[in-house]
Structure 1
Amino acid sequence: MKRYKKFAIPLFVVVGLAFQSCKSEDKKFSDDATEIAVVTHEAFRLKKGAVASSFRIPGELVANQQVDIYAKVSSFVEKLLVDVGTEVKKGQLLVTLDAPEISSQLAGAESRLKSFEAVYLASKSRYDRVLKTSKTPGTISQNDLDMAFADQQSDLAKWESAKAAYREITDAKNYLEIRAPFSGVITSRNVSAGAYVGPSGRGSEMPLFTLLEQKNLRLVVNVPELYASTLQKGSAVEFTVRSIPGKIFKAEVSRLAGALDDRLRAELVEMDVNNAEGELLPKMVAEVTIPVNTDGNSFAVPQSAVLNSTLGMFVIKVENDSSIWVPVSVGRSGGGLIEVFGELSDGDILLKSVSEEIRDKAPVKAEITE
């Protein structure tokens, strides 16, 4: 019994010390928890604002006008007056063709035209005499007068037909001289002097020339559906090309398709580009910078205020010192801001920088900085 009494006090002391240590740890943990709960986060008051930004999209420069020039009639190339790279004016002679049979047809048509003209003039003269004589009663019957008039009209019709045939062959002969339909540059030549050309069959597989208008180009872009409403007729855009690094070109929207493409779900937009100096070439690929400015009727928040989690997209609102995850959808972004849409109101207090560590309905304090 004396041995047990000897160790009773030390055992009690050890248990007391251990209990005291546990209380100290609990107090330290409680202090730490209190310290975490009172961490202050930067916040701001929600308000509507415009988001100004831009996005880059590839485009293509194409000729304002382009045409493949073919021969209208079967013929042989007599003389080429232009070649690849030749700048031509509207109406300038490009090539002369030779078709001897057309000259023969024209001579025959001219002969028939003169013959029918003579026949018509004779019948008209006869009708005029008969008409004048018929004014004396009893000299010419009505039937003879009608027959003379019918002969005159028949000969007139034949003469008109001969004139039409003559014009047709004359026009065909005019096709032996091919002229430029507009001012531009010859970009390809596929024939040589003496080659047979024609409207169909051998000799017409490829055009004689390809003519492009180079002084005026079109910049063609397909604008995605999200940004289709940002461009209007007259909107200004900037673009660059790889062959001239560092130089920024300007253009204005001239034409909008007004509908989305079935395959790309994008709207075709064309801009007219003045290329008087000839720096740009058709078929060049351009990087187009399109400005995007919202109307200011939606809420704009810093991009860091949007939480993109596996559950969706949220902003964290502070209400009564408690966090509330508000589901949102986003719109356009730029300049560090992004449009958000959800159950939000003017003046709501939102956290400026969010993460999943800030749980929903957790205690939180906010310091409004702006």
Structure 2
Amino acid sequence: MARTHQALSYNDIRDAVDCIAGAVRPVTLAPVDPGAIPSSGVGQCQVWLALEFMQFSGSVKLRGAQNLVSTHREDATLPTAGLTIACAGNAGLACAWAAKTTATRAAVFVPATTPTRRIDELQALDADVRRAGVLQSEAEAACRDYAASSGALLVDASQDRLFAAGLGTLMVEIHQQIPDLDTVMVAVGSGGLLTGIATAASHFGVRTVAVEHEDHCGLHVALELGPVVEIGIDLIAADTLEARRVSAMALDAAQRFDVRSILVSDNDIAAARKALWEHRRLMVEPAGATALAGLLTGAYTPEPGENVCVVLSGANIDQWSPPFRQPDYPR
């Protein structure tokens, strides 16, 4: 039966848990050793790292893509033409992975400037990669035209409730392992992950802290100004968080569940990546370390005894890249 909820609910997430069971890797949680990461934000509390960058396809986005594809197949609403998405990053990789494992066609639209490595990764998953324009907005327009002409399912990872519900399954798994969790910290781009995490966290009575890059803070601005606003795009370290706007779904979840919003800088993110490398030899993309940056800078300071889980998602990096060096981005 097709889902008709107007806003994401915990029941949607419970449905997703059943739907993706066996199709994703269960999250691994690792405790931060006391004193291992010196910071004003880490005092007399327990911090856990949710290592979701070890998920199939390299990010939590697979949970959303798997739930979307599997649910449409179950409901007999998946077109013969398959699905299409405009994204060369983690959402595109996740959709390509979910499509391949369910024998579904996937057309992924990317700007002509997309690095060859990302194209190779998508094609290795049998995705039909189509270059369109120079800007992301041009790729999105071409993707919409393709969906209209082919009948393919148009995927918007930031707005789709099935996608967000799948992402929320991560919080269910975290709570199963840490039933006395007080706070979960998550990075925000366009807001799909925030929607799922905040919805599930609220059900368990867990506080959600949303961490954004200071130059791409659509949620932070929207919480202050009210409407969903569009922001300019500059090059930042956490390039997978470069969303022009936070989704209406994410803003609604943030307001309903009293999500706390904090900001970090490129340097903060670089320091968090360095801390992960020095503490556990973990290499994550900048977006994957953004939530931790919010803790290490003291932008969010836990209370003594507080149980905090930080979501690390995103392994979309070159294997030869230094794990924490900050490149020079043009401004």
TM range (shorter): under 0.3
| Bigger share in helix | 2
Structure ranking higher in strand proportion: 1
With structure 1 as the length reference, what TM-score do the two structures score?
0.17
Highest CA radius of gyration, 1 or 2?
1
TM-score, scaled relative to structure 2: 0.19
The structure whose RCO (Cα within 8 Å, separation 6+) is larger is 1
